[in-house]
Chains A and B, each alone.
Chain A
Amino acid sequence: MIATYAPIFLILVLSSLIAGAFFTGASFLGTKKPTHEKMLPFECGSESTGGRHVKLSVKFYLTAILFVVFDVEAVFVYPWAVQFRSLGWLGLGSMFGFLAVVVVALIYVWKKGALEWES
């Protein structure tokens, strides 16, 4: 079981080694001449204002949660698609029943204007 995934882990280890080597190499080999001006926070040439984070609109939240819901729905479709032939009519019917509900949800979301950004 583990042997099947050995190449993946090899790649993971290799890539983190290479990335780490670049970072440490840059910080050791690069020359650093800090001056007062260089150490100031830089923001498009002007003095920075405000906090570190921006406040996002609640619309992002709605979009994100709708994404999660339809993401979960898509997850169910993968195993169904893989087994499509062997599941027969029962499988087709059950997936259609499930998708019908999700499509109604999509129409509802759409007509409610929850997908519109400007409103």
Chain B
Amino acid sequence: MGLVFALSPLLIIAVGALLLMMAEVFFKQRNGLALGATLVFATAGAFAGSIWMVGVENLPGIEALSPWLITDRFTLFFDMILCLGGALASLLAGGYLPEHNIDRGEFYSLLLFATFGAMMLAGSGDLLTVFLGLETMSLGAYALTAFRRASPRSIEGALKYYLLGSFAAAVLIYGFALIYGATGHTDLAGITQVMASGKAEMPLMLMALGLVFVGLVFKVSGVPFHMWTPDAYEGAPTPATTYMAVAVKSGGFAMMLRVLLTVFGDAQSMSWSSGWPPAMAMVAVLTMTVANLVAGRQESVKRMLAYSSIAHAGYLLVGVVATMRSQTQASAAVMFYLLTYTVSTAGAFGALILCGSRGAEAVSYEDLAGLGRRHPAAALPFALFLLSLAGIPPTAGFFGKWFVFHAAIDGGFYALTIIAFINSVIGAYYYLRVLVYMYMREPAAGAPVAIPMKSGYVTAALVLSAILVIALGLAPAGTLDMAVQAATHSAG
């Protein structure tokens, strides 16, 4: 019984998705699907929460599935983030898809199964299930990107994402194969043991580290493996972009923390002189700087948000580097950041969806000119989420950045922290530029302007994210404590 309870988040997503699919084809349901998918996500998230409350240590027999699937607080924390991201994306889709006449039920099934893959990824304790989860998540994301298939931009983005993503998956599994060759194990605990005993074949292991590193950085779209991101994010329907920016990225970071900190978590691999941290620091600096500089030059707000999500991956990588010195504190900071980033980014994309309607979409900065005066109800949430993304108190984004930078300073990475800080100042420029257009500019005479849409679903998603952004900004302590527990009780 404990086993079924421990697996319930995954089971609920899977069974819920199958039931929704049947409801879709037998009852020709259209309008209820978004609500149904949201409810499935909410139930799975609630079950993850209740397992957290009961405590995994009080559930007998849950080791039966290890090492394939591990249920610990790390898994549960990520389950909750992923379910939140999935729920927000399906609420946004409930408003966006009918408005833009691409209302097909496959979207929700894809969302649910991709999240199933992401949760599998977060909970896997074996390289085999890591790869299965990764592919399930990625295939869903590729199909979501190509969902608007009559649009050449959507297809172009999806094709780039698919080809480069498959290549990265091949590099990753090459690395996994070498790890197996070097240690004779595919389960993370067994690999750690062999590494600790010093019996692993180090030349193979080093090559594996290089390959796995590239695969992981690709999946979280770190520079220089980010080329697919702007096109995929811009071409995809906006709810799918939200999902990729939020849930797929969280899944990628869950995999990164789990694999890097166990398999390559030994003293040598985590040292500054002979391990992965310097390479990761380099990637973090490049990611932040390049993404922020390019984001400032974008004319499309959606593309700007895509670059902004790359920049946020850079800040998160700073936290990953900091795990070298203080593993618990830094991983907790990364997890907390992911939560704040999830609510802020989903909110920002949601606000962008709300600001436009069919034929009058909000695309460029000019489209948003004067929105604050014409439609204050649409402009206000947008402003809130952009402030949170910029990291201005008292929003959630401020504390996300604060804890990551704090962990980096505690680890002694002063230069890295200063670069990250300068970058968040640059980032504030292009976020505030949207506010300037919304509140201080008037559209040129006769220029096309965005007309906000009306949708209960989108409004619900925005209200939910706004509450979380403010609540996490005013009282981050409880959630941070949960993240610390999750980081402490992870297998790493």
Contacts and interface: CB of A to CB of B under 8 A. Distances in A.
B25 A111 contact: yes
Interface in A11-62: none
A104 B18 contact: yes
A108 interface: yes
A8 interface: no
Contact of A111 (B14, B18, B26, B109): B26
A82 interface: no
Interface string B15-56: 000100110011000000000000000000000000000000
B166 to A, nearest CB: 15
Contacts of B22: 104, 107-108
- Residue with the highest number of chain A CB atoms closer than 10 Å, among B14, B25, B26: B25
A101 B18 contact: yes
Interface string B214-238: 0000000000000000000000000
A112 interface: yes
Report the interface size class on chain A.
Answer: under 10
A112 B25 contact: yes
Interface string A83-114: 00000000000000000010010011001100
Contacts of A108: 21-22, 25, 109
Nearest to B26: A111
Contact of A107 (B14, B25, B109): B25
A101 B10 CA distance: 14
A39 to B, nearest CB: 42
Contacts of A107: 22, 25
A104 B15 CA distance: 11
Nearest to B21: A108
A68 to B, nearest CB: 13
Interface residues of B, number: 7
Contacts of B14: 101
Contacts of B26: 111
Nearest to B18: A104
A61 to B, nearest CB: 12
Contacts of A112: 25
B273 to A, nearest CB: 46
Contacts of B21: 104, 108
A101 to B, nearest CB: 7
A107 B22 CA distance: 8
Contacts of A101: 14, 18
B90 to A, nearest CB: 18
Contacts of B18: 101, 104
B59 to A, nearest CB: 21
A107 B19 CA distance: 12
A112 to B, nearest CB: 6
Contacts of B109: 108
Nearest to A100: B18
Nearest to B19: A104
Nearest to A110: B25
A79 B445 CA distance: 71
A101 B136 CA distance: 15
A104 B109 CA distance: 12
B124 to A, nearest CB: 18
B66 to A, nearest CB: 17
Nearest to A112: B25
B69 to A, nearest CB: 15
Contacts of A104: 18, 21-22
A43 B18 CA distance: 51
B50 to A, nearest CB: 24
A39 B216 CA distance: 58
A94 to B, nearest CB: 13
Interface in B104-118: 109
Nearest to A113: B25
A111 B14 CA distance: 20
Nearest to A104: B18
- Residue with the highest number of chain A CB atoms closer than 10 Å, among B14, B21, B26: B21
A25 B21 CA distance: 61
A101 B112 CA distance: 14
A115 to B, nearest CB: 13
A111 B109 CA distance: 15
A16 B223 CA distance: 52
B133 to A, nearest CB: 16
A104 B14 CA distance: 12
A112 B18 CA distance: 14
B22 to A, nearest CB: 7
A42 to B, nearest CB: 39
B40 to A, nearest CB: 15
A13 to B, nearest CB: 33
A111 B24 CA distance: 10
A65 to B, nearest CB: 11
Contacts of B25: 107-108, 111-112
Nearest to B25: A111
- Residue with the highest number of chain A CB atoms closer than 10 Å, among B14, B18, B26: B18
A50 B18 CA distance: 46
14 contacts: A101-B14, A101-B18, A104-B18, A104-B21, A104-B22, A107-B22, A107-B25, A108-B21, A108-B22, A108-B25, A108-B109, A111-B25, A111-B26, A112-B25
4 closest Cβ pairs, A-B complex: A111-B25, A104-B18, A108-B21, A108-B25
Given A107-B22, A108-B21, A112-B25, 11 more contacts: A101-B14, A101-B18, A104-B18, A104-B21, A104-B22, A107-B25, A108-B22, A108-B25, A108-B109, A111-B25, A111-B26
